[in-house]
């Protein structure tokens, strides 16, 4: 076959034909084989996976408010926002951090199903709710509730939807600290002051904890 090529192309120098043949063999050797591609040698596109909302987190023990909050932060793996951050939108806050939001703004965000909310590094009021941003970017609302609701909120026992009363601060009626996923909360009313004469006193959020996400996630992270 090689002699045929030489005879049919007398005007092409032999050394050029040899060089062309070697270059062709080189490219054939470098090309990925179908077997290699099947084994993962080629680049593939992976569709993003929608993460499931986190389950509620419960601290069963009792204690003073500061100690209960410390335990919940440790369990959720969150730390205080950086000293240079006075306030930040939740979607822009670093993962693994916590902040605070006043009841009125939290109520507005839940009633209007806002996809984002502003959190402060330091609690702006004694009745501010605490917000945790987990390592995966999920948001958790921290509050206090009574023992009778804890069993319904527990992941293994919770019905599909449950009406919950989440207090901003502990009391005899609500001594247990819990954290519930923000994306599963639906509120149809604003927070209620337990003492109408005390604007900084404990408040109550009456809302639904649903079995699936209710709105676009506020996840994001840096």
**Residues 103 and 169 grouped into a single domain:** yes
Structure token pair of residue 161: 């939807």
pTM score:
0.73
Place of tokens 């649903």: 210
d(CA 178, CA 129) in angstroms, rounded, equals 12
* Total structural domains within the chain: 2
Domain contains 65? yes
d(CA 94, CA 207) in angstroms, rounded, equals 27
What pLDDT was estimated at residue 192?
A: 95
Q: 113 is in which domain, residue-wise?
A: 57-209
Classify 222 as helix, strand or coil. Answer: coil
Structure token pair of residue 160: 């599909």
What pLDDT was estimated at residue 52?
A: 59
Domain contains 214? no
**Residues 78 and 129 grouped into a single domain:** yes
Domain contains 81? yes
What pLDDT was estimated at residue 150?
A: 82
**Residues 17 and 99 grouped into a single domain:** no
pLDDT higher than threshold 90 for residue 15 = no
Contacts of 118 (CB under 8 A, 6+ apart): 87, 88, 89, 90, 101, 105
**Residues 63 and 111 grouped into a single domain:** yes
Predicted confidence (pLDDT) per residue in 108-163, tens digit: 999 999 989 999 999 999 999 999 999 999 999 999 999 888 878 876 655 578 89
Domain contains 153? yes
């Amino acid at each position: 076959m090689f002699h045929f090529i030489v005879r049919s192309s007398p005007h092409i120098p032999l050394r050029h034909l040899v060089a062309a043949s070697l270059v062709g063999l080189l490219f054939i050797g470098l090309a990925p084989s179908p077997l290699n591609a099947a084994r993962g040698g080629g680049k593939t596109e992976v569709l993003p996976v929608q993460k499931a909302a986190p389950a509620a987190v419960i601290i069963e023990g009792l204690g003073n408010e500061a100690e209960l909050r410390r335990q919940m932060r440790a369990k959720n793996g969150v730390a205080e926002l950086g000293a240079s951050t006075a306030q930040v939108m939740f979607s822009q806050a670093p993962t693994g951090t916590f902040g605070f939001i006043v009841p009125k703004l939290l109520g507005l965000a839940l009633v209007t199903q806002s996809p984002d909310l502003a959190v402060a590094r330091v609690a702006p009021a004694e009745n501010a709710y605490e917000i945790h941003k987990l390592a995966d970017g999920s948001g958790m609302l921290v509050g206090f509730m009574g023992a009778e609701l804890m069993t319904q909120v527990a992941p293994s026992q919770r019905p599909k939807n449950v009406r919950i009363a989440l207090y901003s601060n502990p009391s005899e009626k609500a001594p247990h600290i819990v954290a519930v996923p923000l994306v599963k909360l639906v509120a149809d009313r604003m927070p209620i002051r337990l003492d109408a004469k005390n604007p900084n006193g404990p408040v109550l959020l009456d809302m639904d904890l649903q079995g699936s996400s209710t709105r676009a996630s506020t996840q994001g992270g840096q």
